[in-house]
Amino acid sequence: MGSLPMLARDTLGFFERLTSDYGDVVPFRVGAVRTWHVSDPALVEDLLVRQKGCLEKDIVTHELASVLGQGLLTSEGATWKKQRRLIAPSFTPRHIARYGDDMVRSTAEALPPVEEDRDVHEDFTRITLHIVLRTLFGMEPRGEAGRVGQILDGLMASFEVENRTAWRLVPEWVPGKHRREVDRLTGELDTLIYELIDATRKADDPERTDLLAVLLRARDDEGQAMEDEQLRDEVLTLFLAGHETTALSLSYAAYLLAEHPEHLERLHQELDEATGGDPLTSGMTRELPWLKAVVSECLRLYPPAWAIGRQVVSPAQVNGIDLPVGDQVVVSPWVMHRDPRWWTGASRFRPERWLRGETDDLPRFAYSPFGAGPRVCVGQHFAQMELALVLGTFLQHRTVAAAPGYRPDLFPAVTLRPRNGVRVHVRAREMGTDTD
């Protein structure tokens, strides 16, 4: 089993110890598969940029194709390049500004109750679900629309059983309860998504701006539209990326601000002065430097995409070491984001680092919450705008305080999930005050 027991027991600590005890390039084994952990930003850049042709997505990411199909996350080569060219124009800052109002409205409609300790991860998951339904599907969050999120949660849970237990070493043809569940949920999900695609195509509304409608109208260089199967794969990939990762970042932001009331107070003051109590807009975020610094610092300390995986498909080298075909490579933003070589007070929540010039001379890949290299997340501008607008709107109406005795119990699965939720004390707030 190699390092699998240690990985399952304390994944983040395992990768931290690889760097602290053995250095920036360290091999380990899971079953018969050898993996190289690389934690120096310059070496990461060399691998992901200059030797990009020698690498593809790793085994675990490719296994996600059983759920997500051949979307941007899992596809390779010509398929990936074609889809990236089709989708990227829909995620430029100019295009995504149109979704700001939906983000603010969804947050205001789903604010959590007050005067209680609660799991804000559930609250932010509900808010981001509403946002992705409106911006991706053009749907109001009611009825069976929320079922998409429930199905994806079930699929990700089954996927973790497959990859974090001894099932990792069991051939795919061996039946198991979680494998049957994947088949059942995938069938239900396909039915829902194809019905949405069909309904959107029949509506044929050129004024619709949701991403599904935009992608249906998109054409490649030969004038060809996406086939329904490819559209299904891209929609699911965007749904998962835009729903779960953003909810996690918002939850950890609430926790960090609750633990640091001085930073929270400064953010309340900035919001009051910049908005005068009016709803936030996408254009206002330029006037909120402390909010942007808080978001950047939260992504540094708790990157939802905590690991980046690749596999060697042509002979490569890292730091003079030969990497044969078939070996895996893992890069951990979690490790690099907390490395004292690059960060002053690396384990501390210091949003001011983003305003004082401390980060100006960082190595290029020392900060990579949205991935790195050519495969950097196509939706990073969307995510950054959503994080700022949702967190800002939330804190216009609510304030948070630490929940006594709570610390997040992190579970680094496909994303950096909390086993015990993210608990804070939520209070009502009006402009200029932290209470009713």
Distance CA 54, CA 374 (A): 13
Strands (E), 225-282: none
Whole-model pTM? Answer: 0.91
Residue 412, classed as helix, strand or coil, is strand
Distance CA 436, CA 428 (A): 6
DSSP secondary structure of 317-361: EETTEEE-TT-EEEE-HHHHHT-TTT-TTTTS--GGGGTTTTTTT
Residue 279, classed as helix, strand or coil, is coil
For residue 250, the model assigns a pLDDT of 98
Domains of the chain listed by start with CATH number: 4-403 (1.10.630.10)
Dihedral sign for Cα 43, 44, 47, 48, please. negative
Distance CA 75, CA 226 (A): 15
Mean pLDDT of 48-65: 89
DSSP secondary structure of 116-151: EEEEHHHHHHHHHHHHHIIIII---S-GGGGHHHHH
Are 271 and 279 in contact by the 8 Å Cβ rule? The answer is no
> Nearest CA to 35 among 318, 352, 419?
318
| 255-302 pLDDT, tens digit each | 999 999 999 999 999 999 999 999 999 999 889 999 999 999 999 999
| 223-253 pLDDT, tens digit each | 888 889 999 898 888 887 778 899 999 999 9
Q: Do the bridges between strand 33-38 and strand 328-331 make them parallel or antiparallel, or are there none, so unpaired?
A: parallel
